[in-house]
A and B are shown apart, each in its own frame.
Chain A
Amino acid sequence: MQAADAVATDAAGDGAAVVIEGLDKRFGPMLALHSLSARIHYGRLTGLVGPDGAGKTTLMRILAGLLVPDAGRVTLAGYDVVRDNDAIHVASGYMPQRFGLYEDLSVMENMRLYAQLRGLDAGHSAGLFAELLDFTRLAPFTTRLAGRLSGGMKQKLGLACALMARPRVLLLDEPGVGVDPVSRQDLWRMVQALTDEGMAVVWSTAYLDEAERCQSVLLLNHGQLLFDGPPAELTAQLGERSLRLENAGTRRRGLLSRALDLPCVSDGVIQGEGVRLVLRKGADAGPVRELAAREQLRLERVPARFEDAFIDLLGGGPGGSSALAERLPPVELDSDVAVSCRNLSKRFGDFTATDNVSFEVRRGEIFGLLGPNGAGKSTTFKMLCGLLRPTAGEAQVAGHDLRRASGAAKARLGYMAQKFSLYGLLSVQQNLEFSAGVYGLEGKARRERIAEMIDTFDLGNWLSATPDALPPGHKQRLALACALMHRPPVLFLDEPTSGVDPITRREFWTHINGLARKGVTIMVTTHFMDEAEYCDRVAMLSRARLIALDTPDALKRIAVGAGHADPSMEDAFIHLVESAEREATAA
C-alpha cells in the first residue's frame, strides 16, 4: 500500500487523529470514564489497554459516535463526535467487540453490503474486493456463510468490512479475543500495513502481549487514564525490579505462593520451570534473596516486561495463598492416573473433530489443551467430561469409564464452562444452593459447604446480588465455587479466563495452583499462551490431531531449534502448528 494522501493532508490540522479533552461518561451512578484527555496520532497503532470494566469499550463507542459524552469534547479526524456525528461514521471504521456481521450472509454478501453502506459503487469495487480478500486471505471462502467461519476468519472479515471505504481512523474493539495465535499474527500484519499507510489504528485489548506490540498505549483503569505513551516507556519506569527464580521444578507452585505472600513482592507468575517476580517500588529484595537461598535456587535479574509494569501500575497482583486450597482436605484417589483417553475420536457427519487422541493425566497435574480455533479442543474436552459421546476410543475420569458410567464419572468431576454458566436471574446465594443441590448435597452438609464457599471466596457481601452485578473477579470466584461445591478430585476448566483481565486471572491461578498442590487434577483449555506456562504439561491439538505433548519448557525448546533465540510459548505454539500443517500438506 502506498502513503495515504487523504490522511497526510488532513494531518495538516493539528496532527492528531483523535483529540479527547476532559471526557466524562456515566451510566446511571457509575462513572465509566472520568476527565479523560488524550491524543491519538495518524500512522500509529495505539493500544487501548486496561482490565475489564476500565472503560475501553465505552471510549471506543464514543469515538465511533455511538455514545454521547456527558462532558468534555472529542474530535475524530477533525470532526466533533456529537456535532458532526454523520461525518464520524464516514471518517472512521469501527469493529465492535462482538462479531457484528451477518452470520447468515456469505463473506462476499457481507462485504458488498458494507461497501454499499459506505457509499462505494458495488459494480466498480471488484478491484477493491479482490485486494481486501487477498489482504485478509479470505479469497477461498467468499461464498461461505460468515457464521461458518472460524473465530480468526470472522475477525479478518470484520476488519475487511471496517476498512471498506478507507477510513482515516480504524477502531478495533478487542479484535484479539477468541482468536488463536496464528490468526492473531495475520491481524497484526494487516494492521501494520495500514498504519504504514498513515491510518490511525486504535486497538483495545486486555492481552498485555498485544499492548506491548503497540506503538503507543493508553492505559485505562476505572475510567481514568493511568499512562499515555509508548509501552517501552512504561516498562522502563519499572527499572530493574523483575527477578526470576530459576529451575524451581516441581517446587515452583509452592514457591510462587510463598513469594507472593512476601510484602516486598508486588507480582509473580510461573514461567515454565521458573518463577517470575516483580518487587514493589522501593522495596528491598532481601526477603526474596533469603527465600532463594533457603531453597538453594539461583535468583536472576531479568529484563522487565510490559506486563510487569502494568500489574505494578495497577497496584500489584493478588496475594499468593488460596483460602480455598487451604481448607480443602487433600484429595484421595485410588489410581495415580486421574484422566486418560485412548484412541479417542469424534466425528460429526463426515467432519472429524477429534482424531485418535490418546494421553494420560496424572493425579494433581495441571494439564493444558491448546490449539487454534477449530482444532478440536472443545470437542475433546467435552468428551472427557461426559458431555459428548465419543465415536470411537475410550476415556476414563477418576477411574470411571465415561462410556459405561458417565453418571458416576460426572459426580467425580467439576466443570467450569467458558461463559461461567451461572444463572443470571438467581442471586449469588441461590446459585450456590442450586449447585449444591444438583450435586446431591443435603441438609447440614449442604449448609456447611455453602457457608464454607461463601467464606472462602469472600462472597458474603454479595449474597443477594445477581451474578451479572458482580465484579469480574467475584463472578469468576462464584463460578469456581459452584464447580467445586462437591469437592471433585478432577476439575475441568474450559477457557476459564477468556476475556478476563490480568489481575483477575492471577487471582484465579492462585486458586488453581493451590488446588493442584492439594492433589486436585486440573484440565484446562486456554488461548492465553502465558497461562500455558502454569501447566505441568501441555497437549497441542491441530486439525483434530494431537501434534505435541510435553512440558511448556520442552515445547519451547523445540522452537529454539527452529530459529527463535528465546521463544515465548506463543512462538512455540505457532511453530508447532505451522510445522504440523506443513507435514499434513506434504503427506
Chain B
Amino acid sequence: MSTSHRRQAAPRQEPALRRFDPQRLWALTRKESLQALRDPSTLLIAFVLPVVLLLLFAYAVSLDAKDVRIGVALESPGAAAQELAAAFSGTRFLDAGFAHDRRELAGKLVSGELRGYVVIPQDFEQRLAQRGSEPLVQVVTDGSYPNTANYVENYARGVVQAWRAGLDAAAPPQPVVLEPRYWFNAELQSRRALIPGAIAIVMTIIGTMLTALVVAREWERGTMEAVLSTPASVVEILVGKLLPYFVLGMLSTLGSAALAAFVFDVPLRGSLAALLLLSGVFMVPALGQGLLISSLARNQFLAAQVALFTGFLPAFMLSGFLYEIDAMPAPIRALTWLIPARYFVESLKTVFLAGDIWAVFLPNLLAMAAIGTLFFLLAKRATRKNLE
C-alpha cells in the first residue's frame, strides 16, 4: 500500500472526533436501506401486508349486521300473524326464512344456519286481542354472537312495534318522532371506520416490530460488535437504522391511503398533508418503542415476542380501532392513554371521515410526540456504546 491515503501524521495527533458526522450517518442509512431492500420479508411486511390487512378489514371483518339470517316460525294461521310475518321479510337488514314449526328452526340455530328466530305462536290472535297483557311473540337468539344477538332482538322488537303501530293507526300519533342521522359515516359502514384504523396497525408493525427485529438482528449476528468498534456514535447508529424504516413506514401509509380512497371507497375528507403529518408524528413513538425493545432484548425471537405483546396487540385492541374505548372498563380505559396508537386511530378516523379538525389533531400530535420522546430517551439510556 502507498502512503497517499494515509492520515497526515503528527505526534499524538488527536484523531478527528466528532459526535455526529453526516457522512457516517449517510453510510449507515445507505447500508440499512440496502439490507431492507434485499430482504424479501421486509418488503413483504411493508407493502404486501398492508394490502392483505386492508382487504381483510374491508371484506372479511364487518361489524355491521346486514342480512342476518333469521327464521320466522309462523304457527298461527290467522291473517294478523301472516301480516306480521310479511313485515319480517320486508326489511333489508334481516334475511328471514319461514317455517311452520319452531322445532324446525331450533335445529338450524344450533347448527349455525340461523342467528335467531321469531316464534309467532298458535294463540297469536288471542294474545293480540288481550292487548299487551301477554307477550305477542318469542325471539330466540344465538348468544354465542352477543352483538348479533342483541341486534336481532332489537330489530325484531322494532319490526313488531312498527307493525303494531300500523295496526293502531287510529291511536293518536306520537308527539315526538326521532329521526336518527349518523354523522361522518352516514351509512354506518364499519369498513369506513376500520380501514383508517388499519393504517395504524400497519404502521405499528413496520415501526415497532420491524425496527425491534433489525436492531436485535445486528446483535444476534455479531455485526453490532464490529460497528461499535468504529468511530460511529450510538446516535448515528440508531438514527441510521430508523431513517430507512421511517421512509418505509411513510411509503406504506401513502400506499394504504391510496388503497383506502380509490379501492375501498373510504373518503379522505381531510388533507393529505394532515394525514402525512399525523403519520410522521406517529412514527416517532412507533420507532422509539421498537428501538427500546431491541436495546433490551438482544435476540430476534424475544424482540418479536415483546413487540407483539407491547406494540401490536395493544394497538389492535386498546386503540379504539376495533373496540370502542368508551365501552371499556375504567382501568383499561385509563391504560389506553398510554397507547400511542390510540391517538393515531382517533386522528386517522377524523382525517378520513370528518376532515382537518385541528382541535382533535393537536392534542393527539402532542401526546404521540411526548410518548415517542419518552421511548427515545429510555432507548438512548439503555444503549451504551459497548458490550456491557
- Check A102 against B35 for contact (C-beta < 8 Å): yes
Q: A105-B31, A116-B23 are in contact. Are A66 and B228 (CB under 8 A)?
A: yes
Q: A117-B24, A119-B23, A166-B6 are in contact. Are A65 and B229 (CB under 8 A)?
A: yes
Residues of B within 8 A of A122 (CB): 27
Q: Mark B152-171, 1 if CB is under 8 A from A, else 0.
A: 00000000000000000000
At the interface, yes or no: B54 with Cβ under 8 Å from chain A?
no
Bound-state Cα–Cα, A121 to B21, Å: 12
Minimum distance in angstroms from A93 CB to a CB of chain B: 8
Bound-state Cα–Cα, A475 to B2, Å: 48
- Check B5 against A102 for contact (C-beta < 8 Å): no
- Check B2 against A127 for contact (C-beta < 8 Å): yes
The residue that B225 contacts in the complex, of A12, A96, A109, A117, with Cβ under 8 A, is: A96
- Check A166 against B12 for contact (C-beta < 8 Å): no
Minimum distance in angstroms from B92 CB to a CB of chain A: 55
User: What total of chain B residues lie within 8 Å of the partner, measured CB to CB?
Assistant: 44
- Check A98 against B225 for contact (C-beta < 8 Å): yes
User: What total of chain A residues lie within 8 Å of the partner, measured CB to CB?
Assistant: 57
- Check A112 against B21 for contact (C-beta < 8 Å): no
At the interface, yes or no: A520 with Cβ under 8 Å from chain B?
no
At the interface, yes or no: A100 with Cβ under 8 Å from chain B?
yes
- Check B226 against A94 for contact (C-beta < 8 Å): yes
- Check B225 against A66 for contact (C-beta < 8 Å): yes
- Check B222 against A116 for contact (C-beta < 8 Å): no
Residues of A within 8 A of B38 (CB): 104
Residues from 1 to 22 in B contacting A, C-beta threshold 8 Å? 1-7, 9-17, 21
- Check A6 against B9 for contact (C-beta < 8 Å): yes
Residue of B nearest to A117 (CB): B230
- Check B39 against A9 for contact (C-beta < 8 Å): no
Interface locus among B74-82, B311-319, B380-388 = B380-388
At the interface, yes or no: B328 with Cβ under 8 Å from chain A?
no
Residues of A within 8 A of B2 (CB): 2, 127, 131
Residues of A within 8 A of B17 (CB): 86-87, 90
- Check B23 against A104 for contact (C-beta < 8 Å): no
Q: Mark A80-120, 1 if CB is under 8 A from B, else 0.
A: 00000111011111111011111111000100111011111
At the interface, yes or no: A10 with Cβ under 8 Å from chain B?
yes
Residue of B nearest to A85 (CB): B385
- Check A119 against B231 for contact (C-beta < 8 Å): yes
At the interface, yes or no: B99 with Cβ under 8 Å from chain A?
no
- Check B5 against A127 for contact (C-beta < 8 Å): yes
Residues of A within 8 A of B230 (CB): 89, 114, 117-118
- Check B223 against A101 for contact (C-beta < 8 Å): yes
Given A6-B7, A119-B23, A135-B1, output 10 extra A-B contacts at Cβ < 8 Å: A61-B387, A67-B388, A85-B385, A94-B226, A96-B225, A102-B35, A104-B34, A105-B34, A117-B232, A127-B5
Q: 26 pairs across A/B with beta carbons < 8 Å? A: A4-B6, A5-B9, A6-B13, A10-B12, A12-B11, A68-B388, A85-B385, A86-B17, A86-B231, A86-B233, A87-B14, A91-B15, A94-B229, A95-B226, A100-B223, A105-B34, A109-B31, A109-B34, A113-B27, A116-B27, A117-B27, A117-B227, A119-B231, A120-B5, A131-B1, A166-B5
